[in-house]
């Protein structure tokens, strides 16, 4: 039944949600509060794993929900036909690859099968993997953080509950381990306990910490963070921002005020604006990304809780549909489980 509905809507080019619905969705999750850590057990907790092994373990749910199902489908067919492609479409969509991206991938796959005269279903998987890699590599900018040469400012944006606080803590830990002098500015002055949680993470990571009292002007905190970064010759200033604002206009005004301070006071610094998204929300993360992309010039995405979801296909949609490069992924609860993202490693980890 899904396939019939999907095919009937393939030619509909306007498959996004209406703008007013997107704006009303969970952009502002006022009641959600971030926890300093994720307490659940996860497959990346085993010691001694390298980054690729951690990524592979963290993507276990996605692999079972997507690749294992693809393997089963391919084994069930004796020939390559339209029904096979329909089944592949369904699997990709349910893994939150996104409808538009799924159609583009499968259309490319059809063309390659025809051009290369592929006749065996078991040969399709490798072609599919290659097409997913291509569509991710051709989208957006580079996947590396642009923080060289020093100094650099990293502005972290996103709604409450997605893991901004833990992301900042883990990122500062990673940078400190690379020999960087890091300062954290607690620009989210609205959410209860946000400053205290971030200070705890700064202590754990060994970063300096700049804050004001709860309810203070976020732009003033960022201003003081910049002055401290200059005085202490910091390599990287990481700035938290509020994630509990009532609508796009307020969000735009608040962030633009912060951006003006950064541009005026620290024009020589390299700048990254990282949007933190929760991978477990799937297409909801795409809706959030669309709104933030309208509000500010996002340079990259941090995708958290990738180890806790079967919806890892959202990574593909973010890079393909929105042109936003995924720069970091969270694949566990430990302080060193925030990992630099590599599209080839991601695809290999899913299909391995």
pLDDT tens digit string along 118-129? 999 999 999 999
Position 237 pLDDT exceeds 50? yes
Q: Please, what is the average pLDDT of the chain?
A: 84
With a pLDDT cut of 90, the percent of the chain lying above it is 50
Give dist(CA 352, CA 346) in Å, integer.
Answer: 10
Under a CB-based contact definition with an 8 Å cutoff, are residues 127 and 113 in contact?
yes
pLDDT higher than 70, residue 24: no
pLDDT value for 138 = 65
Confidence of residue 326 (pLDDT cuts 50, 70, 90): very high
Name the residue among 349, 341, 151, 133 with its Cα closest to residue 238. 151
Q: What was the pLDDT predicted at 50?
A: 66
Most confident of 42-46, 75-79, 245-249, 306-310: 75-79
Residue 223 has pLDDT above 60, yes or no: yes
pLDDT of residue 51: 67
- Output the pLDDT for position 61: 84
Does 323 fall in a domain? no
Cβ(189)–Cβ(216) below 8 Å: yes
Q: Which of 5-14, 86-95, 296-305 is least confident? A: 5-14
Per the model's pLDDT, the better-predicted residue between 46 and 212 turns out to be 212
pLDDT band for position 218 (cuts 50, 70, 90): very high
Q: The CATH number of the domain where 254 resides is what?
A: 3.40.50.300
Q: Are 299 and 324 in contact (CB under 8 A)?
A: no
User: What is the predicted pLDDT for the residue at 320?
Assistant: 86
- Is residue 227 assigned to a domain? yes
Residue 49 lies in a domain: no
Four-CA torsion 181, 182, 183, 188, nearest 10 degrees: 180
For residue 43, tell me if it sits in a domain. Answer: no
| Segments forming the whole domain that contains residue 164 | 152-298
Q: Which residues contact residue 146 at a Cβ distance below 8 angstroms, ignoring those fewer than 6 apart? A: 152, 270, 272, 299
296: left (phi over 0), alpha (psi -120 to 50) or beta: beta
Residue 237 inside a domain? The answer is yes
Which run of H or of E encompasses 301? strand 300-304
Q: What's the structural domain count of the chain?
A: 1
pLDDT at 235: 98
Residue 156 in any domain: the answer is yes
| Helix (H/G/I), strand (E/B), else coil: 90 | helix
CB hemisphere CA count around 91 (13 angstroms):
23
**Higher model confidence: residue 39 or residue 274?**
274
- In this prediction, residue 11 carries a pLDDT of 42
Q: Kindly state whether residue 219 falls inside one of the protein's structural domains.
A: yes
Q: How confident is the model at residue 203 (pLDDT cuts 50, 70, 90)?
A: very high
Report if residue 268 sits inside a domain.
Answer: yes
- Global confidence as pTM: 0.83
> What would the DSSP string read from start to end of 215-275?
T--HHHHHHHHHHHHHHTT-SEEEEE-----SSHHHHHHHHHHHHHHHHHH-TTSEEEEEE
Best-predicted range by mean pLDDT (184-193, 229-238, 277-286): 229-238
pLDDT tens digit string along 58-104? 788 888 888 899 999 999 999 999 999 999 999 999 888 989 999 99
Rounded CA-CA distance 295/248 in Å is 7
Distance between CA 197 and CA 178 in Å, rounded?
23
**Are the C-beta atoms of 166 and 238 separated by less than 8 Å?**
no
Q: How confident is the model at residue 352 (pLDDT cuts 50, 70, 90)?
A: confident
């Amino acid at each position: 039944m899904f396939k019939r509905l999907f095919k009937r809507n393939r030619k509909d080019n306007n498959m996004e949600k209406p703008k007013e619905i997107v704006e009303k969705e969970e952009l502002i999750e006022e009641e959600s509060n971030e926890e300093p850590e994720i307490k659940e057990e996860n497959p990346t907790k085993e010691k001694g794993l390298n980054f690729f092994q951690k990524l592979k373990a963290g993507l276990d749910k996605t692999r079972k929900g997507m690749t294992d199902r693809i393997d089963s489908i391919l084994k069930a067919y004796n020939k390559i036909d339209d029904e096979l492609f329909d089944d592949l479409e369904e699997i990709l969509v349910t893994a939150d690859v996104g409808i538009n991206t799924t159609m583009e991938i499968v259309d490319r796959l059809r063309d390659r099968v025809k051009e290369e005269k592929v006749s065996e279903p078991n040969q399709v998987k490798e072609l599919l993997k290659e097409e997913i890699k291509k569509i991710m590599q051709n989208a957006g900018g580079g996947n590396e953080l642009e923080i060289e040469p020093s100094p650099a400012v990293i502005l972290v944006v996103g709604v409450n509950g997605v893991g901004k606080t833990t992301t900042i803590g883990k990122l500062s830990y990673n940078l400190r381990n690379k020999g960087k002098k890091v300062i954290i500015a607690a620009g989210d002055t609205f959410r209860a306990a946000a400053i205290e949680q971030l200070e705890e993470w700064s202590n754990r990571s060994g970063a300096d910490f700049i804050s004001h009292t709860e309810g203070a002007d976020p732009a003033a905190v960022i201003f003081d963070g910049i002055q401290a970064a200059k005085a202490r010759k910091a390599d990287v200033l990481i700035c938290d921002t509020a994630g509990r604002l009532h609508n796009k206009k307020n969000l735009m005004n608040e962030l633009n005020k912060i951006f003006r301070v950064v541009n005026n006071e620290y024009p020589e610094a390299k700048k990254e604006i990282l949007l933190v998204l929760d991978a477990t929300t799937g297409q909801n993360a795409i809706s959030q990304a669309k709104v933030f992309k309208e509000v500010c010039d996002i340079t990259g995405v941090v995708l958290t809780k990738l180890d806790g979801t079967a919806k890892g296909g959202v990574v593909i949609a973010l890079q393909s549909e929105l042109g936003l490069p995924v720069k970091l992924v969270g694949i566990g609860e430990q302080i060193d489980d925030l990992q630099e993202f590599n599209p080839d490693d991601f695809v290999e980890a899913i299909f391995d």
